[in-house]
């Protein structure tokens, strides 16, 4: 910028883009470059001493004066936009910005390309939004508390299996699309959002008009009017049915990989009872078929049968736990005892060599949670297998599993190991897909990513804390909704 006693020549400013002028603090024109004069109107339209705002159309002048006053007052402003009063059929829009220096305002103006048809602009913007919604599979909605009017985007209609050309459902008709149990949850979430206007995020099961059941995720906020009163709800819908199906397929694959690891550890535990069961049966067979075999005393026979029965029950328990972990067909959401899930997984790990020395378990009462037993067992197995790998090169290392009720009434499971810990620079990446610190061939880096996704799908969270010689993962799940 230049002081008035050292104004640049028009020839010098010809080298710079834009058109410039200098104003007094009261908004009158002190000096204007030739480019500025030709930009703002016909010859003679710009005069020294003329108020700057009079160059623009009458209905734009108040806004120009307000912008100029804000600049003089020290407020940093974005470039302003106004239409010049040029008395020509086509409007000429000017984008201008100013900066105060000493006792003057230095203005740079350029011509702006503005569509004169705001309705066409709005239609084009709305069309682009609809295309983006369709590509992303996301629909949006708004509900006005005062009028009880519900507005849906085209994609929201499609998610519900409805024709966008038809009428928008009422709030009651929209709620009726959800399974009865989820209607109660929807009411609880919205009531909580109204009492504490915070963003909401939840999943619901939607029954479309073709009777297919889809899983949808809804996120939104409560609108607040200038008086601080909630006036509406705005949010988005997304059909995540296919996403969850793909996640479960990946879960099944990783679960099978975990089972292969477990199978190597429990093989000898199954083999031992089978060996003495086989031995006892061979001795009994010999006693029954060989006349020269010495007879069994009643106490010996009872002992052999008891040992055989205990061996069979031990094998049966191991097989049942493995079958529960291997289950690929879930029967929907059920009430799950998280403590029982922990105990089931721990029983499998107990068969690993030396587990009785390095595995510590503390199970307190936990509230039942809504979920899928096999998926939750998969999360727990991933955490426990990671912990056992973390201590394999640390003699005396320990793995501690705790289940308890959190301060907010949630069910909480913590898996802690005394391995090397996770470097601070890697903590933010441990939940990324395909990120692993294992040696090649020991894992592909999907376990923690899938575990967090399962936790979030159950309305909970999976977090990490790590320090020197200690790593702790915490799984938190909300309690099941009591039946109405």
Residue 114 or residue 81, greater confidence = 81
Query: How confident is the model at residue 14, as a pLDDT?
Result: 45
Query: How confident is the model at residue 4, as a pLDDT?
Result: 44
Query: Which of 197-201, 237-241, 303-307 shows the lowest mean pLDDT across its residues?
Result: 303-307
Domain with CATH 3.30.450.20 in the chain: 4-112, 134-239
Query: How confident is the model at residue 366, as a pLDDT?
Result: 92
Query: Which of 27-31, 37-41, 436-440 shows the lowest mean pLDDT across its residues?
Result: 436-440
Query: How confident is the model at residue 50, as a pLDDT?
Result: 94
Query: How confident is the model at residue 287, as a pLDDT?
Result: 73
| Cβ-contact 466, 472 below 8 angstroms | yes
Query: How confident is the model at residue 276, as a pLDDT?
Result: 64
Query: How confident is the model at residue 403, as a pLDDT?
Result: 94
pLDDT of 70 > 90? The answer is no
Query: How confident is the model at residue 352, as a pLDDT?
Result: 65
| Cβ-contact 200, 223 below 8 angstroms | no
Q: How confident is the model at residue 258 (pLDDT cuts 50, 70, 90)?
A: low
* Separation between Cα atoms, residue 481 and residue 484, nearest integer Å: 9
Query: How confident is the model at residue 328, as a pLDDT?
Result: 47
pLDDT exceeding 90 applies to what percent of the chain?
14
| Cβ-contact 175, 192 below 8 angstroms | no
Q: Mean per-residue pLDDT for 45-60?
A: 91
Query: How confident is the model at residue 484, as a pLDDT?
Result: 56
Give me the residues paired with residue 336 across strands. 369
Query: How confident is the model at residue 329, as a pLDDT?
Result: 46
- Whether domain 4-112 has CATH 3.90.650.10: no
**For 395-409, what is each residue's pLDDT tens digit?**
888 999 999 999 889
**For 350-382, what is each residue's pLDDT tens digit?**
766 666 678 889 999 999 998 888 788 888 888
Q: Calculate the alpha carbon distances from 111 to 81, 88, 256 in Å.
A: 10, 15, 65
Query: How confident is the model at residue 288, as a pLDDT?
Result: 75
What average pLDDT is seen over the chain? 80
Query: Which of 5-14, 280-289, 356-365, 450-459 shows the lowest mean pLDDT across its residues?
Result: 5-14
* Separation between Cα atoms, residue 27 and residue 10, nearest integer Å: 22
Q: Mean per-residue pLDDT for 276-280?
A: 72
**Angle between helix 241-289 and helix 447-457 axes, rounded to 10 deg:** 110
| Cβ-contact 182, 204 below 8 angstroms | yes
Dihedrals phi, psi of 64, to nearest 5 degrees: -65, -45
pLDDT of 434 > 70? The answer is no
* CA quadruple 387, 389, 390, 395: dihedral, nearest 10: 110
Q: How confident is the model at residue 49 (pLDDT cuts 50, 70, 90)?
A: very high
Domain with CATH 3.30.565.10 in the chain: 244-477
Closest-CA residue to 283 (of 272, 274, 296, 270): 296
* Separation between Cα atoms, residue 382 and residue 434, nearest integer Å: 14
Q: Mean per-residue pLDDT for 324-348?
A: 73
Query: How confident is the model at residue 332, as a pLDDT?
Result: 61
Best CATH choice for the domain 134-239 from the list 3.40.50.10490, 3.30.450.20, 3.40.50.720, 3.40.50.300: 3.30.450.20
CATH level 2 (architecture), domain 244-477: 2-Layer Sandwich (3.30)
Q: Mean per-residue pLDDT for 49-63?
A: 91
* Separation between Cα atoms, residue 83 and residue 119, nearest integer Å: 18
């Amino acid at each position: 910028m230049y002081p008035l006693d050292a104004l640049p020549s028009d020839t010098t400013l010809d080298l710079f883009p834009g058109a410039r002028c200098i104003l007094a603090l009261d908004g009158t024109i002190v000096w204007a470059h030739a480019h500025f004069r030709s930009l703002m109107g016909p010859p003679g339209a710009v005069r020294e001493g003329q108020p700057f705002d009079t160059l623009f159309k009458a209905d734009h002048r108040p806004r120009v004066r307000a912008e100029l006053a804000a600049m003089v007052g020290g407020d940093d402003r974005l470039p302003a936009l106004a239409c010049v009063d040029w008395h020509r059929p086509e409007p000429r829009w000017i984008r201008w910005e100013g900066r105060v220096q000493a006792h003057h305002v230095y203005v740079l103006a350029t011509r702006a390309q503005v569509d004169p048809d705001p309705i066409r602009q709005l239609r084009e913007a709305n069309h682009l939004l609809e295309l983006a919604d369709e590509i992303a599979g996301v629909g949006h909605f708004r509900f006005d508390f005062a009028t009880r009017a519900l507005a849906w985007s085209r994609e929201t209609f499609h998610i519900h299996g409805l024709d966008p050309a038809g009428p928008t459902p009422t709030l009651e008709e929209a709620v009726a699309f959800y399974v009865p149990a989820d209607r109660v949850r929807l009411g609880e979430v919205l009531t909580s959002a109204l009492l504490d206007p915070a963003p909401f995020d939840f999943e619901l099961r939607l029954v479309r008009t073709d009777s297919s059941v889809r899983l949808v995720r809804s996120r939104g906020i409560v609108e607040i009017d200038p008086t601080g009163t909630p006036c509406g709800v705005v949010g988005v819908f997304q059909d995540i049915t296919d996403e969850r199906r793909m996640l479960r397929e990946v879960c099944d694959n990783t679960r099978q990989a975990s089972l292969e690891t477990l199978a190597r550890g429990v093989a000898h535990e199954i083999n031992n009872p089978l060996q003495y069961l086989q031995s006892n049966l061979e001795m009994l067979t010999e006693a029954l078929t060989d006349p020269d075999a010495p007879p069994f005393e009643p106490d010996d026979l009872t002992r052999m049968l008891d040992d055989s029965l205990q061996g069979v029950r031990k094998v049966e328990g191991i097989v049942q736990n493995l079958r529960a972990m291997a289950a690929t067909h879930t029967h929907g959401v059920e009430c799950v005892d998280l403590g029982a899930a922990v105990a089931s997984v721990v029983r499998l790990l107990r068969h690993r060599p030396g587990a009785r020395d390095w595995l510590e378990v503390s199970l307190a009462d936990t509230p039942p949670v809504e979920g899928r037993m096999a998926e939750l067992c998969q999360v727990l197995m991933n955490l426990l297998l990671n912990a056992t790998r973390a201590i394999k090169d640390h003699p005396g290392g320990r793995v501690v599993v705790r289940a308890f009720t959190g301060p907010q009434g949630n069910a909480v499971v913590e898996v802690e190991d005394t391995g090397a810990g996770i470097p601070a620079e890697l903590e933010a990446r441990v939940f990324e897909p395909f990120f692993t610190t294992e040696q090649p061939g020991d894992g592909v880096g999907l376990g923690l990513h899938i575990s967090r996704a399962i936790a979030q799908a159950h309305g909970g969270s999976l977090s990490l804390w790590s320090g020197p010689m200690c790593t702790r993962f915490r799984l938190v799940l909300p309690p099941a909704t009591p039946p109405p």
